[in-house]
Structure 1
Amino acid sequence: MFLMNMFGSNNSYKNKKKKGKKKKIETTALAKNQVNPLKDVKMFGAFKMGYGPKKTECQDSHCIMEKFIDECHFFAVYDGHGSSGKEASQAANDYIQTYLEKNNKKIKGLTTDKTREQFLRAAFKSAESKLKSSGIDYSNSGTCSIAIFIQKNICYIANLGDSRAVLFRQTNKEKLAIELSYDHKPTRPDERERIIRSGGKIEKLIHDGVPVGPYRVWADDEGPGIAMTRTLGDLQAKKIGLISEPEIQRIELTRQDKFIVIGSDGVWDVMSSAEVVGFVLQYQPPAQNEKFDKNDKDNANQENVASALVAECRARWDDMNKNKKNSSKIGDLPYLKFGCDDITCVVAYLEFNDDDAPK
């Protein structure tokens, strides 16, 4: 049913860029008198706390900013980890949202890919700086982030860690589940190279002489043992190649694009990108030429889509634990691995003007 992926598969990332060279970003400016084909973005978010050994609070958070200024939208999911993971997630969420709100005039002046990307990088850089000076110990705690910024019909995906964004595109010939982000794992060739070059090691945890769990980043035998290579916070690991600079992708949205789903790894550990798209399709919004009606049955389903997706993921976690199929998703050690991660998602439906007919 679905083909994927636009930027590259998260199952087998292939680094095609030449060493030492950064891919140039195309510069695009919409004419001031050009009508924005993207009419509106309707967003729905939901979360559910996980369970398991040492699990006492939900460390995820999410942000929804529908049309916070003219023709601009922003939504994000933050997945905290470590003893101060909840604080890291919520603080990063607050810092970046505040940065956007305080820079309304600057955002209106962004007219090229380069300036928009620079603005997003500055938002994350500011959040990292505030985490460092917050007085909270983030030496071994931090947060992943997947964020979407849309200006007119140009969409930018800013990713840090192993949360993910997926776009559903429907053409006359096919239906596509398109991954809009790469997971930042220690096994990814370019990420691994940076960690090793910075003096870090990439190994699994050793338990009773046997490697267990995913590959992690280590400075020494004591830590930090983090399973991602880009996050906000995790200050100890920043000394061995972990970075807080988001990887930013760009895509121009058209009427063929129906919705975007972002989520923490509590979603993607139990559902593939194609499965998530197929699930969301059951909650299809009204046709593009129909108005949103609060009393409409389809629209009611649309509003419930995020909660339904979270519930489906939770059921899959429960089933894996019941049948002991969970392969160290939560903890590396045998007595820790059966549990459920926090689950958070945002589903954003894209509504286009009628005169933007597909070609």
Structure 2
Amino acid sequence: MFLLNWFGGNSNQSGKNKKKKKKQNVVQNLNKTLINPMKEIKLFGHSKMGYGPKKTECQDSYCTMERFTEDCYFFAVYDGHGSSGKEASQAANDYIQTFLEKNPKRIKALQNDKQRESFLKSAFKNAEAKLRSSGIDYSNSGTCAISIFVVKNMCYIANLGDSRAVLFRQTAKEKLAIELSYDHKPTRPDEKERIIRCGGKIERLIHDGQPVGPYRIWADDEGPGIAMTRTLGDLQAKKIGLISEPEVQHIELTKQDKFMVIGSDGVWDVMSSAEVCGFVLKHEPKESVAEAIVTECRSRWDEMNKQKKTNSKIGDLPYLKFGCDDITAVIAYFTFIDELEDNYFQQQRY
């Protein structure tokens, strides 16, 4: 049996702040006997272009950085949107990766959670500044991002938009699919409050006099009409409360943690967090799991379109109703140093 939304997750945003605080306290009070040193993280990713009206290119990208500096790993998925969505996704990917690669001394000097979270936010701030000065028009184009920064056993999750991170934890009594990120949607109470305070409106698109599609943020009747409240880029919407600062969570990884999956919404629109974890557990070899997840998701999109189910739509308007979103998944497998290895390393040290 899987348990979901251990952090609060994406299924239920009511009482979010209260749940978030409670769950983080649970994480920090884990039994210390479970916290073996991290040995290594193996990363695998795969991406596939979607299809549908006006779909000409894949706007997703991903990054995997294994031990890019001492005891540090980074992996991320970027989901671009708009006419320059591919450029936004790839540029943000490049900017953030370069920022990490150029700051090994700064990373090594980070001593606590607050400093590491601030460093991650700086990487996103730098990417936003570079997008603004790039010469490409990002007025109504941008990218969501879900990124993971691991330092030894500490894991930091930085999220913008509606991609997701899920951790699989197996205890003696249960299997847990733990959602580690919160979607940034206009209907989320704290996000909605900021948009309205900044002069934005939250409404659905009106077509033939009827509301269609998800709730979006608007400055006026013309736009921007974006369905997220945090992204990189989308500069027009920054005037009405959309922000580029990621929401950062952190947890301490233990030997009960087996793997983590991050993905664009092309994954999570057709597979639940528990389904993805169950799928990973049954699949071998590990090197092909990310590709297998993407293939399974693509098959589900195809089947929904074949059956013309309404929840398979990728756009609000009738002529955009059926198609398939870009699909990207990255999986991280955790290996911890066991007690025998730990004793050996201690002996070697002295």
Whether TM-score is above 0.5 comes out as yes
Identify if the C-alpha distance between structure 1 residues 227 and 164 changes in structure 2 by more than 3 Å, giving closer, same or farther. same
Alignment counterpart, residue 351 of structure 1, candidates 320, 335, 342: 335
Structure richer in helix, relative to its length: 2
Shift of 1:12: 1.4
1:295 is matched with which residue? none
Task: Report SS of the residue matched to 2:182.
Answer: coil
Identify if the C-alpha distance between structure 1 residues 356 and 319 changes in structure 2 by more than 3 Å, giving closer, same or farther. farther
1:37 paired with 2:37, answer yes
2:232 is matched with which residue? 232
Write the deviation string for residues 62-110 of structure 1: whole angstroms up to 9, x where unpaired: 0000111111000000000000000000000000000000001110111
Unpaired stretches in structure 1, ≥5 consecutive residues: 29-34, 284-297
Shift of 1:36: 6.5
Write the deviation string for residues 234-263 of structure 1: whole angstroms up to 9, x where unpaired: 000000000000000000000000000000
Q: More deviation in 327-336 or 127-136?
A: 327-336
The percentage of counterpart residues that share the same residue type is 77
Distance 1:255 1:10 in 2: 25
Alignment RMSD: 1.8
2:264 is matched with which residue? 264
Alignment counterpart, residue 331 of structure 1, candidates 282, 303, 315: 315
Amino acid at match of 1:321: N
1:158 paired with 2:158, answer yes
1:319 is matched with which residue? 303
Shift of 1:7: 1.4
Distance 2:321 2:252 in 1: 41
Asked if the contact 1:82–1:140 (Cα under 8 Å) also holds between the matched residues in 2, the reply is: yes
1:209 paired with 2:209, answer yes
Task: Report SS of the residue matched to 1:129.
Answer: helix
Distance 1:127 1:119 in 2: 13
1:194 is matched with which residue? 194
Distance 1:246 1:172 in 2: 34
Asked if the contact 1:49–1:341 (Cα under 8 Å) also holds between the matched residues in 2, the reply is: yes
Compute the TM-score of the two structures, normalised by the length of structure 2. Answer: 0.91
Shift of 1:311: 0.1
In the TM superposition, 1:67-86 aligns within 5 A as: 67-86=67-86
1:98 is matched with which residue? 98
2:132 is matched with which residue? 132
Asked if the contact 2:5–2:11 (Cα under 8 Å) also holds between the matched residues in 1, the reply is: no
Amino acid at match of 2:218: W
Identify if the C-alpha distance between structure 1 residues 276 and 16 changes in structure 2 by more than 3 Å, giving closer, same or farther. closer
Compute the TM-score of the two structures, normalised by the length of structure 1. Answer: 0.89
Distance 1:40 1:148 in 2: 15
Distance 1:326 1:100 in 2: 42
Distance 2:100 2:237 in 1: 28
Distance 1:17 1:303 in 2: 37
Distance 1:148 1:36 in 2: 20
Shift of 1:326: 3.6
